[in-house]
Amino acid sequence: MSGRTRLWLLLAAAAAVVALAAVLTPGGGDARTADDRVRDIASGLRCPVCQNLSVADSPSALAREMRSEIAARLRAGDTPDEVRDFFVERYGEWVLLAPTREGLNLLPWLVPIAGVLFGLGAWAMLVRRRSSPEAETPTPAERRQIQAELDALEEPG
């Protein structure tokens, strides 16, 4: 079995495993229960009467009532985004456990990337300056000197 055939077999096996996993994984949107959909939204909302608990995890009465509000709105045909907007309108963006990725909120995502790019640029500049090209090609005078010294070395005794 040649190396190339083996490679193709390996790739085919990998593809088969991925396909099998995709088939076995439970559910697209239809298989999810109403409770799952409520939980999805509730776990992204901050419980107003707790410290650092989501509406899904909080045992408080208000969180329970917020979950039934979510369920009622989903039953009424609201999309998950519309339900989230309802809470943001009343409680502000504070209520979202993950801030939206827009405006100033992008700063924590962009600054590290900018920092890495900046560092790479600075490093590249430094490397280029350290190895200036004119130092590598000897002038004709240097060539003559090198040749002369090599000749002197080769001369016996």
Neighbours of 148 (CB within 10 A): 10
Q: Which of residues 114-153 bind another protein (CB under 8 A)?
A: 122, 132, 134-135, 138-139, 142, 145-146, 149, 152-153
* Residue whose CB is less far from another protein, 32 or 128: 128
SS3 93: helix
Q: State yes or no: residue 103 binds another protein (CB under 8 A).
A: no
CB of 98 to another protein, least distance (A): 16
Residue 13: C-alpha distances to residues 17, 18, 20, 147 (Å): 6, 9, 11, 62
Helix and strand tally (H, E) in the chain? 6, 0
Separation of alpha carbons 99 and 53, rounded Å: 15
Of 21 and 152, nearer to another protein (C-beta) is 152
Length of the chain: 157
**Which of 41, 56, 66, 74 is close enough to bind another protein by CB under 8 A?**
66
Q: Which residues bind another protein (CB under 8 A)?
A: 48-49, 61-62, 65-66, 68-69, 87, 89-94, 122, 132, 134-135, 138-139, 142, 145-146, 149, 152-153
